[in-house]
Amino acid sequence: MTTHFLFLLICASFALKTCQCRNLWSADLPEIRNVSLEKGKPIQIESPHTQIQVCELNGTIYSDTLSQLGNVTELRICRSNIEKIEPGALCSSQLKTLELDFYTQSQPPTLSKEVFDNCDIEELILRFGEDSTIYKIDDDALGNLTNLKKLYLQGYNLEHVEKNFLKLPHNELTVLEFSLCNIHQIDSDVFEDLKDLESIAIVHNRELKSLPKDLFKNNSKLKTLTLRSNAIENVTWDEFEGLANLETLTMSENRINQFDADKIATNLPNLKYLNIDLNPPPCKQKEAFVNELKTKLTNVDVTYKFDPGYYDSCEDEI
């Protein structure tokens, strides 16, 4: 492995681990920081921004702390040391996107149903730090978020993902992402009631070795499935039954040792993009599979090797 490639690989790995969850914040996002939190003294903003981040807060977020941010539709709270969040303190009637970033916090508050009182948000992003054992989300914490459409979890310790693991409101959920969640096992009925899902991402879970059959049987609306950087192996490809409308499948950086063109074509007839980079079979074997798959799915684009001259490229093989 060349020094140049090793550098690229390290940079790519770092970028993936730090930026996996949806990133909706621009570099010039208005920021409020280092504000003294006192009851009866809400945070003020000079201009009627609709998108802001509030950082470096310490102590309690009171019920009136964010009450003057009525025009804000997208709010990020980050780089803080929050001990408590009073019921209903986070959301205004206009708020649609909320990110709570606890990555740097050593003693974060438990997230309960009361924390999300009065929330009518459509998108929720929860980021946690490396010591995932200190974070706690009550089982029913998200139960009243009936308009929630997109949920992103990063760094939350799940291990065994069971049905109703967070009692998710499933009426309109379209996007669900788990990143760095230490997932070991997923039950086959986890997505059973989430019939409107269009995108699922399960990434950077190095103990996740298999997928149960029928996992996606009720997810016929799914268009994008990302299963990158896990430890998935011995795939039969029957795990993807029910995904007749899937267009994008990313399986890179796993331990998959065989690719079945017949089953992929049968189970994923509308597949347009498949990424199988950095799985064990040599490039020439992958190349043969790609050629076979393209005879069965004429519109599919398959990514299976890095740039010429680097690891996993056909040019390195005799």
Structural contact between residues 282 and 309, judged by C-beta atoms closer than 8 angstroms? no
Q: Same structural domain for residues 152 and 197?
A: no
The pTM of this model reads 0.89
Secondary structure string (H, E, C) spanning 191-238: CCCCCCCCEEEEECECCCCCCCCCCCCCCCCCCEEECCCECCECCCCH
Q: Say how far apart CA 75 and CA 98 lie, in whole Å.
A: 5
Task: Retrieve residue 123's tokens.
Answer: 């998108």
> Is the four-CA dihedral 224, 307, 259, 161 of positive or negative sign?
negative
Q: Same structural domain for residues 235 and 151?
A: no
Q: Mean pLDDT over all residues of the chain?
A: 87
pLDDT at 313: 58
Q: Say how far apart CA 24 and CA 26 lie, in whole Å.
A: 7
Q: What is the CATH number of the domain that holds 309?
A: 3.80.10.10
Number of domains in the chain: 2
Element (H, E) at 31: strand 31-33
What SS3 class is residue 123?
A: strand
pLDDT at 18: 35
Task: Retrieve residue 126's tokens.
Answer: 């929860």
Q: Same structural domain for residues 302 and 198?
A: yes
Beta strands in the chain (DSSP E): 31-33, 51-55, 58-61, 74-78, 81-85, 97-101, 123-127, 150-154, 160-161, 175-179, 185-186, 199-203, 224-226, 248-250, 273-275, 301-303
pLDDT at 110: 92
pLDDT at 23: 57
The domain containing residue 262 runs over which residues? 193-318
Q: Same structural domain for residues 207 and 313?
A: yes
Q: Same structural domain for residues 142 and 240?
A: no
Residue ending a domain, among 130, 157, 184, is: 157
- Residue 202 is assigned to a structural domain of this protein: yes
Residue ending a domain, among 157, 184, 219, is: 157
Q: Same structural domain for residues 215 and 142?
A: no
The values of phi and psi at residue 41, to 5°, are -125, 80
- Residue 168 is assigned to a structural domain of this protein: no
The values of phi and psi at residue 48, to 5°, are -80, 65
Q: Which of 81, 75, 87, 77 is nearest to 111 (CA)?
A: 87
First-residue to last-residue Cα distance in the chain: 17
pLDDT at 170: 64
- Residue 85 is assigned to a structural domain of this protein: yes
pLDDT at 12: 38
Distance of CA 109 to the CA centre of its chain: 22
Per-residue pLDDT of 198-229, as tens digits, reads 999 999 999 999 999 999 999 999 999 999 99
Q: Same structural domain for residues 259 and 304?
A: yes
Residue ending a domain, among 112, 133, 157, is: 157
Q: Same structural domain for residues 135 and 207?
A: no
Q: Same structural domain for residues 62 and 143?
A: yes
- Residue 143 is assigned to a structural domain of this protein: yes
Q: Say how far apart CA 65 and CA 233 lie, in whole Å.
A: 49
Q: Say how far apart CA 262 and CA 296 lie, in whole Å.
A: 8
Average pLDDT for runs of 10 along the chain of length 318: 36 38 63 90 87 93 93 93 93 93 87 93 92 83 92 94 82 92 95 94 96 95 98 95 97 96 97 96 92 96 74 56
pLDDT at 17: 37
pLDDT at 34: 87
pLDDT at 1: 39
Q: Say how far apart CA 287 and CA 100 lie, in whole Å.
A: 43
pLDDT at 106: 79
Q: Same structural domain for residues 153 and 198?
A: no
pLDDT at 314: 66
Q: Same structural domain for residues 225 and 132?
A: no
What's the CA angle centered on 300, arms 192 and 200, to 5 degrees? 25
pLDDT at 70: 85
3-state DSSP helix/strand/coil percent for the chain, to nearest 5?
Answer: 15, 20, 60
Q: Same structural domain for residues 211 and 134?
A: no
